[in-house]
Structure 1
Amino acid sequence: MVLDAISLAIDPDQGLAAEARLLSVRHEGEAAEAIVAAALDLYDGKIALVSSFGADSAVLLAMVADIDRSLPVIFLDTGKLFPATIAYRDTLVSALGLTGIITHSPDTDDLAAADPAGALWMTDTDACCDTRKVKPLAAALRPFAAWISGRKRYQAETRANLPLFEVASGRIKVNPLLGWDRARIEAYREARHLPPHPLVAEGYPSIGCLPCTDKVRPGEDERAGRWRGKPKTECGIHLGSPSGAVIPGI
């Protein structure tokens, strides 16, 4: 860790916040590949990549594969994903030789209590995301001190001020692609001959669960198809629980 163990023990939250600020300053302006490499070195054995295997996911997965194909890659199978996303995951895993895939699904007891009919998304999207994404990610991240996210500033107002390194409920979160835009992502993918997610060509530039993902019309924000017609813009894994409380362990 960047800060000494004594300062972290005295005030872990402030210590992590200072660590995130220092790392953000230290790595400002560096290439995404260098940031990924630095994070993997700094948190060796205690860091994972969280990937949706969505429209942009191939970029970070390729960067990680260049360094360590066995790095833990957490994939949340919500039970509501497009079949094309599952197939795309398998395609990328094979193409990049990734061996550290960790698939987490919703807890069966949680589903039985909150969504026994599998239709919670129709009445309460926040509760559905909490059960199918937020809580499973919390469980998956328990062994790790840091994780890598693929969020980018251009994607939404809620992401416009992302730092390179931030604190997320007691962990360091790394955002190496925060300054990338769609053109840069596509240029990298094409240069590396990485297969695209098949749904992108069908009008889905941002892909989540099938019931809550719509096609995006020309001129719309890339995430306009997520939770169409609702004020909701994030599933919750980057915001904590729907109520705003901190999820223990996430």
Structure 2
Amino acid sequence: MPLEIPLAPVAERVADLNARYRHHAATEVLEHALTDPQVGRIAVVSSFGAESVALLHMVSVIDADVPVVFLNTEMIFPETLDYQCAVAERLGLTNLRITRPDPTELFLRDPENELHLSDPDACCALRKIDPLEDALDGFDAWITGRKRFHGGKRVALDFFEAAGSWIKVNPLAHWSPENVADYMTNNRLPRHPLVARGFPSIGCVPCTSRVAEGEDPRAGRWRGREKLECGIHFVNGKAVPVLSRT
């Protein structure tokens, strides 16, 4: 059996990958991410939200057996659960991995399901960050659907970025809203049912509200609070990755 060659430090690999693939199209970046030995073992992390089906379709065309991690926080919309099942079946995703918060931790830290009211950051850590970190154990990299047009700290998003000892891959980083809409239309992909009802960005039920015309698409997330991010990618809008396995 051939010896496994240790991977170089994450920062070195990220710099090399961005240099080599900087001018590639989204599909090419994704194909390389799934096969380049400098990326390592990789999974897709998907919320099955408003725009998720575009990336998932792209992955399914290349390799429908790529691991797809779906995080069920136990507080997501029923429509998202139905959509997840429908999309996975439609695209023929054969390696879907559904992860949930630890039930003992939920009982100890949020027995009344009201932690989001007093400490939404702690709620996100309990229901999103900790379970996702466990789900990604054994992987060297994970693929996201983030894009620069989402604004905030995403405006300078690269195709590859470091997150602790993981690499995050953002193949759609340079896509515009029109690119996403065109891809979904041209491939006849199903829309999340909540989008038509005024939810362009979809999270957990208690912390997601409708967005009025002209508002930022993420205005309905944690409305009325200073909180901007769940913490998977940033801490309160700051570019500090919480997922920092060492």
Q: Which amino acid aligns with 1:199?
A: L
Task: Mark the runs of 5 or more structure 2 residues left unpaired by the alignment.
Answer: none
Q: Which amino acid aligns with 1:239?
A: F
- Summarize deviations over 1:155-183 as a string: whole Å, max 9, x none: 12121111110111101110011111211
| CA–CA separation in structure 1 for the residues paired with 2:151 and 2:210 | 17
| CA–CA separation in structure 2 for the residues paired with 1:205 and 1:154 | 13
Q: 1:242 to 1:104 in 2, by over 3 A?
A: farther
2:142 matched to 1:147? yes
The equivalent of 1:249 in structure 2 is 245
| CA–CA separation in structure 2 for the residues paired with 1:92 and 1:99 | 12
Q: Which amino acid aligns with 1:151?
A: R
- Summarize deviations over 1:190-248 as a string: whole Å, max 9, x none: 00000000000001000000110011111111101000011111101113699978555
- Summarize deviations over 1:111-147 as a string: whole Å, max 9, x none: 1221111111111110000000000000000010010
| CA–CA separation in structure 1 for the residues paired with 2:170 and 2:242 | 20
Task: Work out the number of aligned pairs and report it.
Answer: 241
The equivalent of 1:41 in structure 2 is 35
- Summarize deviations over 1:12-62 as a string: whole Å, max 9, x none: xxx211210111121112111111100000158710000000000001100
**1:89-104 mapped onto 2 (5 Å cutoff):** 89-104=84-99
2:37 matched to 1:25? no
| Contact persistence 2:227–2:236 (CA under 8 A) | no
Q: Which amino acid aligns with 1:220?
A: E
Task: Mark the runs of 5 or more structure 1 residues left unpaired by the alignment.
Answer: 9-14
**What SS does the aligned partner of 2:184 have?**
helix
| CA–CA separation in structure 1 for the residues paired with 2:24 and 2:183 | 16
Q: 1:117 to 1:95 in 2, by over 3 A?
A: same
**What SS does the aligned partner of 2:138 have?**
coil
The equivalent of 1:73 in structure 2 is 68
**1:1-250 mapped onto 2 (5 Å cutoff):** 8=8, 15-43=9-37, 46-239=41-234, 246-247=242-243, 249=245
- Summarize deviations over 1:52-97 as a string: whole Å, max 9, x none: 0000000110011001111100000000000000000011011100
TM-score (norm 2): 0.92
Q: Which amino acid aligns with 2:22?
A: E
| Contact persistence 2:201–2:220 (CA under 8 A) | yes
Q: Which amino acid aligns with 2:141?
A: A
| CA–CA separation in structure 1 for the residues paired with 2:97 and 2:234 | 22
Q: Which amino acid aligns with 1:181?
A: S
**What SS does the aligned partner of 1:118 have?**
coil
| CA–CA separation in structure 2 for the residues paired with 1:96 and 1:20 | 30
